[in-house]
């Protein structure tokens, strides 16, 4: 019986030992090799003092070793914390301190930043995957792959054990750590297998980096059925012409990504010059797919079935909507209906269920729900809606913060957020966090960050700030300041310094008015 993630690779290694488990360009690893190499990593970690439940950081760009890192940590009983290697050092340090990281896994391509981390993080026990850093223990991937397995004694792992912490931006400016268990992550993998009828013959296209939970599709549902997961390196994901050639060459059957990658392939990927006949399913999620481009893509790939898949990282995914035919109108695509072992309610601001057709907040109860935010009981409680069932027993729903309405076909339609969180190229961005960051600058008195809709349905962030008296700060200074603290996708593309803000009757910054000014380029 499969009840934890650490069993997945071993199971497929016994059924399909010589089959490629993961591929990345010219690198590949079979299930048998992956089973051995993850055992070696687990043995090393346990030998170095890792205790069950300890958090281990993965600080890697998209490469083959990521699969050894994830499954090796899990076999050792650890929980993996995937950190975006392209985030500022300060954010990396905040996360590592927040969850007491002692072991960090990386690769030589991140050496430049690893040196800076080693210098700043004296609490690290060992950095794995690199060599020769003054004052810090290191061991290379190669050295780990030659370790003996005589004394390997893995711990017993239960479904309720912590498997990962995923950090996402918090509105106060401090990242929050979403805790998932072996049970919630394995439930996700099982539901994804069911959704696509995946088998060992499938080839999964993995376009998301590890710190983005779409990647779990490849890392877990692949090994659950013995499929091959193809990791697409960073350069390919950003250069659509090369990406689409590689997707065709690798004969991908299952695709899951943000809409942006698909529209890039459609617009700049020479889509007519390649053979995509292997594609069975194209799943997209993370943000809204512009209907015009979706229709065009579906017409190019009539043999593939398309699915919109929705859910916040706190519960991975919860709804899906299958498009049988290219959409006829430009009406928004529904989020759809909930998948297995999942139920939902739509609540008004007093937590009462709305009557059908009235908008409200979506709350969801599911097997894939997180257990809470790391080290933040208060935030965890706030994020749950509990329905008392019996003495000492509640149904726990997650408050998605998404405003939805149910249509006449019982499909959930997305209307917007109830707070100021937005999606930008698939990333969750808290406008409050960016404003809080700007206000940390001593030269800034007030700040407002606004989303401006550009042509071709692109969104851009613009910051408008009022400086302190006598402060001499340029917009370039402010840009550099932000880049040191928040990830580059959340740094506003434009900054404007103004004398004073348009204000509402009560003296608050009038964001609607600023938006009008920005759109007409008055400021």
Partner 1 sequence: MKEKIIAYLKEEISSEPLDDIDINEDLLGSGIVDSLGMMRLVVFLEKEFQKKIGPEDMTVENFKTVQSISDYLTQ
Q: Which residues contribute to the site for partner 1 (CB under 8 A)?
A: 61-63, 85-86, 88-89, 109-110, 112-113, 233-236, 238-242, 268, 270, 425, 483-484, 488-489, 493
Shortest distance, CB of residue 84 to partner 1, whole angstroms? 9
Shortest distance, CB of residue 110 to partner 1, whole angstroms? 7
Which of 43, 490 has the CB closer to partner 1? 490
Shortest distance, CB of residue 236 to partner 1, whole angstroms? 6
Which of 78, 85 has the CB closer to partner 1? 85
CB proximity list for 99: less than 8 A, separation 6 or greater = 55, 81, 165, 177, 374, 375
- How would you classify the pairing of strands 281-284 and 444-453? unpaired
Angle, to 10 degrees, between the axis of helix 8-15 and the axis of helix 31-47? Answer: 150
Which of 335, 491 has the CB closer to partner 1? 491
Strand order in the sheet with 337-338: 27-30, 20-24, 228-231, 203-206, 254-257, 281-284, 305-310, 319-323, 337-338
Instruction: Give phi and psi for 364, each to the nearest 5.
Output: -135, 140
Shortest distance, CB of residue 246 to partner 1, whole angstroms? 9
Which of 186, 486 has the CB closer to partner 1? 486
Shortest distance, CB of residue 114 to partner 1, whole angstroms? 11
Which of 76, 266 has the CB closer to partner 1? 266
Give CA torsion, residues 262, 265, 267, 272, to 10 deg.
Answer: -120
- How would you classify the pairing of strands 393-406 and 360-366? antiparallel
CB proximity list for 205: less than 8 A, separation 6 or greater = 218, 230, 232, 247, 250, 252, 254, 255, 256, 257
CA–CA separation, 308 vs 296, rounded Å? 16
Which of 223, 290 has the CB closer to partner 1? 290
Shortest distance, CB of residue 86 to partner 1, whole angstroms? 4
Which of 109, 140 has the CB closer to partner 1? 109
Which of 112, 303 has the CB closer to partner 1? 112
CA–CA separation, 422 vs 429, rounded Å? 5
Shortest distance, CB of residue 269 to partner 1, whole angstroms? 9
Q: Where are the alpha helices (DSSP H) in 369-474?
A: 377-383, 431-439
- What tokens appear for 473 in the block? 């700060």
Which of 89, 371 has the CB closer to partner 1? 89
CA geometry: angle at 245 spanning 244 and 248, to 5°?
85
CA–CA separation, 509 vs 420, rounded Å? 15
Shortest distance, CB of residue 497 to partner 1, whole angstroms? 21
Shortest distance, CB of residue 361 to partner 1, whole angstroms? 32
- Hey, CA dihedral for 365, 366, 367, 373, is it positive or negative? negative
Q: 346, 337, 271: which is closest to 304 by C-alpha?
A: 271
| DSSP conformational letter for 133 | -
Which of 259, 372 has the CB closer to partner 1? 259
| Residues 404 and 414: beta-carbon distance below 8 Å | yes
Shortest distance, CB of residue 266 to partner 1, whole angstroms? 12
Shortest distance, CB of residue 318 to partner 1, whole angstroms? 29
CB proximity list for 472: less than 8 A, separation 6 or greater = 443
Rg, the chain, Cα only: 23
Which of 444, 461 has the CB closer to partner 1? 461
- What tokens appear for 430 in the block? 């808290």
SS3 breakdown of the chain: % helix, strand, coil, rounded to 5?
Answer: 35, 30, 40
Q: 211, 140, 181: which is closest to 53 by C-alpha?
A: 181
């Amino acid at each position: 019986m499969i009840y934890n993630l650490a069993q997945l690779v071993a199971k497929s290694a016994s059924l399909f030992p010589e089959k490629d488990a993961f591929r990345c360009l010219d690198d590949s690893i079979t299930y048998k090799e992956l089973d051995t190499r993850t055992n070696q990593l687990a043995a090393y970690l346990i030998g170095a003092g890792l205790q069950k439940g300890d958090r281990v950081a993965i600080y890697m760009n998209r490469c083959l070793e990521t699969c050894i890192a994830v499954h090796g940590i899990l076999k050792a009983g650890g929980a993996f914390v995937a950190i975006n290697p392209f985030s500022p050092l300060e954010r990396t340090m905040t996360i590592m301190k927040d969850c007491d990281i002692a072991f960090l896994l990386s690769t030589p391509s991140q050496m430049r930043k690893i040196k800076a981390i080693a210098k700043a993080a004296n609490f690290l026990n060992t950095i794995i995957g690199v060599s020769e850093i003054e004052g810090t223990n290191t061991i290379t991937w190669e050295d780990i792959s030659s370790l003996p397995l005589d004394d390997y004694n893995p711990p017993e792992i239960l479904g309720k054990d912590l498997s990962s912490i995923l950090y996402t931006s918090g509105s106060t400016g401090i990242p929050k750590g979403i805790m998932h268990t072996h049970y919630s992550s394995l439930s996700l993998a099982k539901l994804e297998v069911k959704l696509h009828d995946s088998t060992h013959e499938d080839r999964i296209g993995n376009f998301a980096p590890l710190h983005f939970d779409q990647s779990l599709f490849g890392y877990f549902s692949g090994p659950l059925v013995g499929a091959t997961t193809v990791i697409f390196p960073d350069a390919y994901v950003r250069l659509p012409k090369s990406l689409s050639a590689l997707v065709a060459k690798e004969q991908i059957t299952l695709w899951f990504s943000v809409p942006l990658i698909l529209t890039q392939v459609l617009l700049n990927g020479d889509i007519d010059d390649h053979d995509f006949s292997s594609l069975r399913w194209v799943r997209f999620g993370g943000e809204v797919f512009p209907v015009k481009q979706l229709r065009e893509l579906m017409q190019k790939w009539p043999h593939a079935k398309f699915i919109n898949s929705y859910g916040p990282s706190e519960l991975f995914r919860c709804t899906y909507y299958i498009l049988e035919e290219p959409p006829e109108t430009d009406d928004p695509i529904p989020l759809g209906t909930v998948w297995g072992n999942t139920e939902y309610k739509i609540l008004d601001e007093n937590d009462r269920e709305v009557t059908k057709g009235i908008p409200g907040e979506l709350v969801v109860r599911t097997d894939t729900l997180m257990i809470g935010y790391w080290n933040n009981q208060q935030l965890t409680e706030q994020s749950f809606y509990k329905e008392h069932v019996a003495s000492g027993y509640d149904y726990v729903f997650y408050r998605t913060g998404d405003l939805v309405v149910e249509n006449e076909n019982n499909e959930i339609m997305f209307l917007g957020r109830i707070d100021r969180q937005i999606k930008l190229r698939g990333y969750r961005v808290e406008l409050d966090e960016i404003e809080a960051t700007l206000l940390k600058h001593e030269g800034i008195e007030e700040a407002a960050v606004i989303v401006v809709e550009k042509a071709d349905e692109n969104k851009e962030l613009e910051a408008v700030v009022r400086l302190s008296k006598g402060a001499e700060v340029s917009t370039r200074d402010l840009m550099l300041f932000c880049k040191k603290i928040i990830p580059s996708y959340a740094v506003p593309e434009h900054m404007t310094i103004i004398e004073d803000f348009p204000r509402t009757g009560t003296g608050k910054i009038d964001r609607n008015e600023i938006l009008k000014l920005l759109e007409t380029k008055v400021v």
